[in-house]
Copies of this chain bind each other. A is one copy, B any other.
Amino acid sequence: MYKRLFDVDPWKIKTNQLDKTNKRLQESLTSIGNGYMGMRGNFEEAYSGDTHRGTYIAGVWYPDKTRVGWWKNGYPEYFGKVINAMNFLSMEIQIDGVELDLATNKVENFYLELDMKNGLLTRSFIYHKDDVNIKFEFQRFLSIVQKELCFIQLQIEVLSGNPELVIKSGINGNVKNEDSNYNEMFWEEKQCEVKENHLFLTTETIKNDFNVPRYSVTGMVEHSYSNDFNTTFETKSMQSSEVFSAVLTAGTKVELEKKIAVITSRDIPEEQHVKAAEDILNNYKNETFAQHLARQIEKWRQRWKQADIEISGDDEAQQGIRFNLFQLFSTYYGEDERLNIGPKGFTGEKYGGATYWDTEAYAVPVYLAVAKPEVTKNLLKYRYNQLEGAYLNAQRQGLKGALYPMVTFTGVECHNEWEITFEEIHRNGAMVYAIYNYTTYTGDESYLKNEGLEVIVAVARFWADRVHYSKRNECYMIHGVTGPNEYENNVNNNWYTNTLAVWVLRYAIENLVKYPERQEELDVTEEELAQWKKIVKNMYLPYDEKNKIFIQHDTFLDKDIQPVTNLSEDELPINQNWSWDKILRSCFIKQADVLQGIYFFGDQFTQKEKERNFNFYEPLTVHESSLSASVHAVLAAELGKEEKAVEMYQRTARLDLDNYNNDTQDGLHVTSMTGSWLAIVQGFAGMRTNNGLSFQPFLPKNWEGYNFRVNYQGRLIAINVDTKMTQVDLIEGEDLEITISGSKKLLSVNK
C-alpha cells in the first residue's frame, strides 16, 4: 500500500521523475528548514498543476477563530496556526514569451535531489521548445550559519537557439493557509518597496479578536547576476520583484543568485526590520552562494558527526534514519527556547503547526542523546514559560493546578474536540516525565529543583483534583479520559493515565522531600501532601487476574477481543475504511497505550509482566498513529522478538519516504521521526538510562552492522554493532561505568 517517489540512497533523496500526480508528496519530502524557517519543496518558477506552496516561519502564527459544529463549555476561542508566510522563492521565468511551467512545458533530463548531508536542494532539467533547448539548474538552502538567510542559485545554459529570457524574481505576500477556518487571508501589507537595490516586503498578521500579538515579517532580497541581464524593479500590492531580461545565444551560461533575509517581530521591532535585513545582507555581501554553502556544509558535518547512525547492508534503512534526523534537525535544533517541534514542522499546515506532547514523550530522549543538554533544556523551559497558560486551561475545566494543552503556541489550549481537549489529559504527565528523563539522563538536578518542581507541583495539583473518590470501590479513580489509544474515547480508569498520575504525585512528593525549601516556596501544605499520598496509595489500577495483565481501561476486556490478523486487507487502515462508531467499539488499538506506560517505566516491571502485556496488546494494535511503532520496536527488542522489532523499525523509519499512511502529501510526520532513532538506539542497541547507562544490543538479521554516538552526562560515546561484536568506546569525557548485555564495563578515553 505504500508509494515510493524517490530512489534509495544513503545520503540523498533523489529522482529523475517529474511526478505531476504526486506533486504534493514530492513537495513534502523535499522540504528544507533551519529551525527558524522552512518551506515545502516548491518550485521557484510558476507551476500551474496541483501544488501546495508553503513557507513557514517558526513562531509566527495566527489565532484562527474556533470552528465547531456544536459548542461545548470549555472549548478554546481559537485554534492557533503556523501561517503560510510570504513566498520569497518566487522566480517566474518567461522564455520567448512562454511561461516556464513544468506542469505544461516539455522538459527532459529532470533531476531533483535533496542532499541530506549538506541541507541542499538541487533541481535541474532541460527546457525544450522548437529549436530552443535550455538547461536550468536551481539550488537552494536555508542557512544554519545565519538563520535569517535563504540562498538560491539559478544557473542557465542555452544549449541551442537564441531565446529571449525574462526572469521576475522577488517576494509575493499574497498567500493563504489552505486550512483557514473562514477562508481568510491572515496577512496585510505594511510596506512594499525597493531601497538601494534591495527589494523588500513587510507584512503583518491581520487583527484578531483575542489577546494574541500580531506578527510582522519582512523579507528582503539581494540579487547578484551575470552581466548579460538588464534589470528593472517592479512593486505592486503585496509583491516586490526585480525583472531580469536578456536575449541569449546558444552556448551562453548565465547565473542569478538570490539572497533573502527574513526578519520577524519576534526578534526585532517592525520599525527596525529594514535596517536589520540590510545589515545582514551587507554582512554577507561578499560571500557567494558557493562560499556560504561551504560553511553550511561544515556545520551540518558537525551535526552528523554527533548524531549520525550508520547502517551497513541496508540502504533503505540507512536512508530512512537519516531522512528522519535531517528533517528533525531542520525543524528544531534547540536554539530558541520560545520554540518547539510542530507535528509537521515547516512542511505543511495540518494540526496547526503548534506543540504537542509528542515532544516530551518522543523527541526529548533523542535530543538528549544527539545534541547538547541545552537543547533539551530549552524544550523544558518552553513548558515552564507557558505555565500560566496551563493554569488557565485547568481553571477553564473547573480544576485546580495546571493542565498542559493538547495543542498550543502559548500554553493556552487551542484544540477543540472534547474527547481530546478535555480528556486526553495523560499529556500532562508527559511534561513531568520529560523533566525526569532530562534529570536522570544528564545528571543535572538544577532544572528539576528550580523550574522543574514548579511545573511538577502544578501538574500534581491538577491530578489530585481530577481524580475522584469512589465510595463504592473505596479507591480513587479517573473517569472520562482518552488514553494514548485515540481509538477509544471517554473511558474510565485508563491504566496508562492512572499510572502516570500516580507516578507524578509520587515524584512530586519525593522531590519535595529532597528539596524541602521548595515545599514552602511553592506553598505546598502538609494537608496537600497527605492527600497526594492518600491518592498514591489508593489509586485504582485496573488489573486482570486471569491473564495477569494490566487492563487498558475499565471495560476493555468486555469487548469482542480479536487480533488484527482477523481483519481483511481492505479494512486497513481502519481509520480510512471503518466508521468512527465501529472503530471506537472495536478492540483495535491505534498506538501503544498500556505498553506506552511499560515503556516509560521499564524498570518497574518484570520481564514476565512486560511479555504478558506485549503478547496481549500488540496483536490488537493497528499502529495507525505514527507514534506507535517505535515504542513497540523498543519493547519487542527488549523481549527478544527481533523480527517484530525490525518490522516496527521499518514502519517508523520510512513512514514518509514510503508514504505508509497515505497522507505525507499534507506534510511530514516530524515529531514521529524520532521513532526510528528510538527503535535503533533503545530497541536494537537496547540503550537504557533509568539507572545508569546500559546497552543490550542485537544486530538485525539483514544488516551487516550499525554504529552511532550518544552524549551522556558530559561524555561522547560511540557504539558499534556488527556481525562479530559490540564495541562501545568513550570518545570524550571522564571514565564511566556502563553495562553491556548485563556485564559492567569501565569506559575510558582511548582504551
Contact = CB atoms under 8 A, between A and B. Distances in A.
A466 to B, nearest CB: 9
A396 interface: yes
Given A422-B579, A490-B584, A479 B558 contact: yes
Contacts of A580: 72-75, 418, 422
Centre residue among A66, A480, A560 by max chain B CB count within 10 A:
A480
Contact of A558 (B69, B472, B576): B472
A81 to B, nearest CB: 13
A243 interface: no
A210 interface: no
A417 B70 contact: yes
Contacts of A79: 69
A578 B479 contact: no
Contacts of A490: 419, 489-490, 584
Contacts of A69: 66-69, 79, 416-417
Nearest to A472: B557
Contacts of A575: 73
Centre residue among A473, A557, A584 by max chain B CB count within 10 A:
A584
A668 interface: no
Contact of A579 (B68, B398, B579): B398
Contacts of A448: none
A72 B79 CA distance: 18
Interface string A500-513: 00000000000000
A468 B416 contact: no
Contacts of A419: 419, 490
B480 A584 contact: yes
A469 interface: yes
A397 interface: yes
Contacts of A73: 575-576, 578-580, 583
Nearest to A571: B398
A63 to B, nearest CB: 15
A472 B556 CA distance: 11
B468 A560 contact: yes
Contacts of A469: 560
A555 interface: yes
B397 A479 contact: no
A567 interface: no
A68 B580 CA distance: 15
A743 B390 CA distance: 66
Interface in A541-572: 554-555, 557-561
Contacts of A471: 560-561
B479 A585 contact: yes
A558 B471 CA distance: 7
A559 B422 contact: no
A658 interface: no
A554 B557 contact: no
A558 B470 contact: yes
B555 A555 contact: yes
Contact of A581 (B74, B558, B559): B74
A388 interface: no
A477 interface: yes
A582 interface: yes
Contacts of A68: 68-69
Contacts of A472: 557-558
Contacts of A72: 580
A330 interface: no
Given A489-B490, A554-B554, A423 B581 contact: yes
Contact of A585 (B66, B468, B584): B468
A151 to B, nearest CB: 39
Given A580-B72, A580-B418, A473 B558 contact: yes
A483 to B, nearest CB: 13
A413 to B, nearest CB: 12
A628 interface: no
Contacts of A558: 470, 472-473, 477, 479, 492, 554
Contacts of A561: 471
Contacts of A396: 579
Contacts of A576: 73
A79 B68 CA distance: 13
A566 B298 CA distance: 69
Contacts of A398: 578-579, 581-582
A427 to B, nearest CB: 14
Contacts of A67: 67, 69
A585 B480 contact: yes
A417 B68 CA distance: 10
Nearest to A473: B558
A723 to B, nearest CB: 46
B555 A397 contact: no
Contacts of A555: 479, 492, 554-555
A73 to B, nearest CB: 5
A484 to B, nearest CB: 17
A584 B421 CA distance: 14
A422 B581 contact: yes
A428 B463 CA distance: 39
Interface string A455-492: 00000000000001111110001011000000001101
Interface string A389-425: 0000000111100000000000000001111001100
A301 to B, nearest CB: 43
A588 to B, nearest CB: 13
Contacts of A468: 559-560, 585
A581 B480 contact: yes
A397 B557 contact: no
A189 B690 CA distance: 73
A160 to B, nearest CB: 51
**3 A-B pairs closest in CB distance:** A74-B579, A422-B581, A72-B580
Given A422-B584, A423-B581, 7 more contacts: A72-B580, A73-B579, A75-B580, A398-B581, A470-B560, A472-B558, A477-B558
9 contacts: A67-B69, A73-B576, A396-B579, A398-B578, A418-B584, A470-B559, A471-B560, A472-B557, A473-B558
Interface of A: 66-70, 72-75, 79, 396-399, 416-419, 422-423, 468-473, 477, 479-480, 489-490, 492, 554-555, 557-561, 575-576, 578-585
